[in-house]
Chain A
Amino acid sequence: MNRRTLLSGLAAASFLGMRGNPARADMPGGFVPAGHPLHQSWQAWKTLCLTDDGRIVDGFQNSASHSEGQGYGLALAAIFDDRTAFDTIMDWSDRNLAIRDDALMAWRWRPDTVPQVQDRNNASDGDLFYAWALVMAGARQARPELIQRAARIANDIVRLCSAPHPDGSGRLLMLPAAMGFRTAEQVVVNPSYYMPRAMRELAQATDLPQLSQMADDGVALIDDLAHSGLVPDWIALTAQGKAAPPANFSQNSGYEAIRVPLFALWSGQPGSPAVQNFAQAAASGAPGDASPVVFDLTTRAVVEASSHAGYGAVAALSSCASSSAFGSAMRPFTTDQPYYPATLHLMALVAQATQFPKCVPI
């Protein structure tokens, strides 16, 4: 059996595996079928974030684009089976970000600088979502070349963005990027860069056990962090264990870490302590209120709140999925928010529709 055959077979097997999950029985493979009312939200998200040429714009960051946004957008396009959007996003990303010597993408593109990519470092979450999107679309659209491309990215994530835990336990960590987050003494990790489902499906489709191990170790790391409180935005890991990240990194649990419960839910883990902890902490905000987003790690006191509906949607889904309740206080998608909360909002709705039908918005 040559590698090409193996790839296609594994991709199909992965797709089969997705179909076989009874939690997603009504939406095979976690895709949102045509005609589902959530497509209206996808169209609205595109209007808000996606330009005609396939660039996903983060208005808050001076209209910059990142590999993260391109990866998120590509994954959503695959989930909504929007081939036009998918090809457009891929085309722009390939032309503007896939400029490294490896299969990874430069992390940021700015419209107002020359050159527009000033730092060729990557962001591993962007690459991860990008590769996952390629696997999903490759299987659904019968485009094996996409799966091959995903394999190359996955290989480079493992090759360039992984490192053993400094404590010598043999656990494999996912670095936030190929450069800049590792010294001889410590590794700085962003727990929200782990998307267990994406990592496992990518590992399965591309036959990369290291990626699968990285997902398992990541989940274990997150569980460990959550057992002692809220999951931080950033964490430094040393031979002695956990430590605070450098001073220029967030010392709280906030805009980064909010993705941890979201991705855990999307990965079908409503029992994750990260979900439970976040749901409890966010419960201090009343529905319709500005939703608490940034918490002090020690006291759990609310440091910042945001009226952007996307954050409230993650909190409401966490609360519903981790309880026996039916119906969640998620708001329907709204374009009255910037790229980041809007994207989290749409992802939360996709996670709800595909994983937790009982948590339908009320």
Chain B
Amino acid sequence: MNKTTRLTLLGLPFLLLSGTAMAQDIVLPPAAAPEAQPAPEAPPVGQSIDAAPAPRDGMPEAPAPEIRQSLLKLRPLTTLPEEVRMGPSLPQPGILRLTGEVARTDLGLDLPPDQALPESLQLSLRSAINVLPDTAVMQITVNDAAPVDMPLNSFNGFKTVNVPTEGLIAGQNRIAISLRQPHRIYCGPDASFGVWTELDLTRSGAQIDQSNLPPTAQGFALALSQQVGSGLPVTVLSGDDTDPAILRQMTDALGTAMQGRGWIDMRSPYDIAARQGPSVALLPSDRDQISYRLDGRGTPTMVVEYQGDALPDFSLAMQELTFPAQAQAQMLQPGVAQTLAQLGQSDIVGNTHYFRKDVEFRLPDDWLLLANQKARLNLQYGYAENLPQGSILLVKINDETVRLLPLDREGGKLLDPLAVGFGARLLHSGVNTLSFEMMVPGNPPDVACPPRQTDMLVVTKESSLLVPHSPAMQLGGFSSALSGLSAAGIKADPAAAERSRMEMAAIQLAAGLRPSPEPDAAVSLTLMDFSTLPTSLADVSLRELQEALFPTVAMPAASAQAAPPPAAPQAPSFRLSETAETPAPTAEVAAPARSWSPLAWLHRQRERLEKAAFLSSGEGLSQWLDGRRGDALLITLDRSQPEALGLILGPDAQTRGISRALDELRSNRLGQGAVALLSNDGSWEIWSPVETPRLQERVTVMNLFPILGNLASWSPFLFATMLLVLGLISVVPALAIVIIFRKSRLR
């Protein structure tokens, strides 16, 4: 072998592996190292070991580990709203806020059996700066033990306090927390929102020796329920190369166990972002096994090991994890007066200057009244005497005020029952809300409220609600399909350009979907991007769709050639008279010029007629979408297959928000249309094509008038036209008779 051959052979592997060197030979520069093998040269031998090692690390004083305490955390016993309301809410995951001059909530704490019971509760608290110190107090009642009072004085961030308690027992504990936290300066409805105290649920609970808490299914289930109850996500760890089908199997099972109340946060095991609470780790392994361990943070972790393309049998593990079914809003039977007690509501007592209580109830899925039938609330209520002038109570149905009641006269007693009638068309199938909203001004408003000895408002549980019967009818749209949707029906569009994003979204939405009372396996929801547009959107251009779902981008600076837009009229920054209003900009400038040509007039009349003709959106989808902005678009993929739904996700769509909005749309059954745009504020805008209400029972004498009423309300134009035609038709025989008789008389 000559030199060149040897060179080539030795250099070949290097070249093959070094991508950047593929096309060139490697020419090494002259080496500074000696060509000959160096003779080992003994290092110098010293007289003594005179080196001194450098110190290591920053914790030389750290003691040997003591017995580690683990915190068993408090959890809300009911599902709390995420938006701030009077009383308890979860404005941030893990943070319980109690708003108002007085507030109360019940928390749960589960302690293991056969262990020494903790003698104190750890609470991490902070209060709004508006809270009046020295007077504000939290009262903690553990089970049946005597309440413990604790002053509220943490105004500069969360402070951890230990509350001694003797009432804790092994198993489930109920911790009742009551607050009295007056505003330090003001009094009134606004001041009610200004006073709050927050409890960090991730750092509140009872400390217990960790060695007494071996990782078990029960321990994991407890941690899971605490996590979900506090509004925190459950982390699922899986490698990037995990088969999406395997991942989906697991998250579906987990979501089902959590009754759709939990939220799954998908993470890489190497993700450096802090995570809280229990995790589920999905590991490819050489065995099928489900085990419970502690992770590096000492938090319970469910480790699911699998081999091949199937998961181990989950059924037993999930039985131990399954949450109790969540109570639904009570069904209200139409035609029968039902008390609030029958709807699951106890006496409603209001003691904050702004107060609101929502009572939810359900109506049958085929309940539909669009005409002027009346429903009635038989209200039994009372309020304190001498409430300030201007105190009012609003009674609302689905956020529509149906009665305003003054509370500033004849107080101090329960009043005689008051019949509050309201239009039944304010109600709809599915979940409805009856609300009582009280506003009591401060007297005076700029001084702290004086302490009260009496309750401000009570609505008794004997108050009753009567909703009239309805024929079994439904409006069109995807509400029926949506209510039958199950987690397994949610899938990613295989043709989506962002396939992995769609799959992740499908996983999260499926895990966060509450179980349907009547699941329909035929119903599907396909998550898609803009890469494929369904036939139902044939009338909409891709550009229109992108404009609706893409975030608004600031327009680039106009080019020099572009004509400047006409200067917009500015509101006057001055006022010269106390009585005369400052003149508004002239109509010619404020509004586009209105043409009075006969053609334009006809066009306007046609538009008005179209809008009034049907209980529908009255315009094409393309027109309807124009100018609207949102995060996601819910559609029926094909009009002939109403059970096939699609959800087009915009680039900024937040899956958690979509999950909440979808759940709300399912429960209130307001998806009575063909397209729904989810706005950035979490509300849906519905586009409905012209589609007659569907009658789901036979027409009888009893239901004829309500059916006609629904049809007339659905389309007054069509109904009037029909009556006109019938009238004309009925005139024909009369005319015929007249003509016949005239003819015979003439003869």
Taking beta carbons and an 8 Å cutoff, which residues of A are in contact with B? 1-9, 11-13, 15-16, 19, 36-38, 40-41, 44, 59-61, 66, 108, 121, 139-142, 144-145, 148, 151-152, 155, 158-163, 175-184, 186, 188, 190, 210, 233-234, 236, 245-246, 248-250, 254-256, 284-290, 292-293, 301-309, 312-313, 316, 326-327, 329-335, 338, 340-341, 349, 353, 358, 360-362
Known: A8-B26, A37-B240. A287 touches B298 (CB 8 A): yes
The verdict on B35 contacting chain A, using a C-beta distance below 8 Å, is yes
Stretch at the interface among B40-48, B340-348, B737-745: B40-48
Collect the chain B residues with CB atoms within 8 Å of residue A316's CB: 296
Give 7 nearest A-B pairs by CB, closest first. Answer: A288-B298, A12-B14, A9-B10, A331-B296, A180-B51, A255-B56, A142-B21
Q: Give which listed residue, B12, B18, B20, B33, contacts A151 with CB less than 8 A.
A: B33
CB of A260, distance to nearest CB on chain B (Å): 14
In the complex, the answer to whether B296 meets A287 with C-beta atoms within 8 Å is yes
Collect the chain A residues with CB atoms within 8 Å of residue B52's CB: 248
In the complex, the answer to whether A285 meets B43 with C-beta atoms within 8 Å is no
In the complex, the answer to whether A361 meets B13 with C-beta atoms within 8 Å is no
A281 to B44 CA separation, bound complex (whole angstroms): 38
Q: Give which listed residue, A155, A245, A332, contacts B38 with CB less than 8 A.
A: A155
Collect the chain A residues with CB atoms within 8 Å of residue B299's CB: 288
The verdict on B698 contacting chain A, using a C-beta distance below 8 Å, is no
Known: A12-B13, A160-B43, A246-B49. A308 touches B57 (CB 8 A): yes
CB within 8 Å of A: which of B33-92? 33-35, 38, 40-60, 62-65, 68
The verdict on B31 contacting chain A, using a C-beta distance below 8 Å, is yes
A292 to B62 CA separation, bound complex (whole angstroms): 10
Judged by DSSP, the binding face of B is loop
For the complex with contacts A161-B43, A361-B295, 18 further pairs of A-B residues with Cβ separation under 8 Å are A9-B11, A37-B240, A60-B56, A60-B57, A61-B54, A108-B54, A144-B29, A148-B31, A148-B32, A163-B43, A182-B49, A288-B297, A289-B298, A292-B65, A326-B286, A327-B283, A332-B270, A338-B57
Q: Give which listed residue, B46, B54, B65, B269, contacts A289 with CB less than 8 A.
A: B65
Q: Which residue of B lies closest to A295 (CB)?
A: B64
In the complex, the answer to whether B269 meets A360 with C-beta atoms within 8 Å is yes
In the complex, the answer to whether A362 meets B301 with C-beta atoms within 8 Å is yes
In the complex, the answer to whether A16 meets B13 with C-beta atoms within 8 Å is yes
CB within 8 Å of A: which of B279-303? 279, 281, 283, 285-286, 293-299, 301, 303
In the complex, the answer to whether B49 meets A303 with C-beta atoms within 8 Å is no
Collect the chain B residues with CB atoms within 8 Å of residue A186's CB: 49
In the complex, the answer to whether B47 meets A329 with C-beta atoms within 8 Å is no
Collect the chain A residues with CB atoms within 8 Å of residue B269's CB: 37, 332, 360-362
A246 to B296 CA separation, bound complex (whole angstroms): 37
CB of A357, distance to nearest CB on chain B (Å): 8
The verdict on B527 contacting chain A, using a C-beta distance below 8 Å, is no
Known: A16-B13, A307-B62, A340-B57. A362 touches B303 (CB 8 A): yes
The verdict on B6 contacting chain A, using a C-beta distance below 8 Å, is yes
Q: Give which listed residue, B41, B59, B270, contacts A41 with CB less than 8 A.
A: B270
30 contacts between A and B (CB under 8 A): A4-B31, A12-B14, A13-B13, A40-B270, A108-B54, A139-B14, A139-B17, A142-B18, A152-B33, A160-B43, A162-B43, A178-B44, A179-B43, A180-B49, A183-B46, A246-B49, A286-B294, A286-B298, A288-B68, A288-B295, A289-B210, A290-B65, A308-B59, A316-B296, A329-B295, A338-B57, A340-B56, A361-B270, A362-B237, A362-B269
The verdict on B594 contacting chain A, using a C-beta distance below 8 Å, is no
In the complex, the answer to whether A183 meets B47 with C-beta atoms within 8 Å is yes
The verdict on B500 contacting chain A, using a C-beta distance below 8 Å, is no
Taking beta carbons and an 8 Å cutoff, which residues of B are in contact with A? 3, 6-7, 9-15, 17-18, 20-21, 26, 28-35, 38, 40-60, 62-65, 68, 210-211, 237, 239-240, 268-272, 279, 281, 283, 285-286, 293-299, 301, 303, 305
Q: Which residue of B lies closest to A182 (CB)?
A: B45
Q: Give which listed residue, A140, A142, A290, A338, contacts B62 with CB less than 8 A.
A: A290
Q: Give which listed residue, B18, B33, B65, B293, contacts A148 with CB less than 8 A.
A: B33
CB of B307, distance to nearest CB on chain A (Å): 10
In the complex, the answer to whether B272 meets A44 with C-beta atoms within 8 Å is yes
Q: Which residue of B lies closest to A188 (CB)?
A: B49
In the complex, the answer to whether B43 meets A175 with C-beta atoms within 8 Å is yes
In the complex, the answer to whether A8 meets B49 with C-beta atoms within 8 Å is no
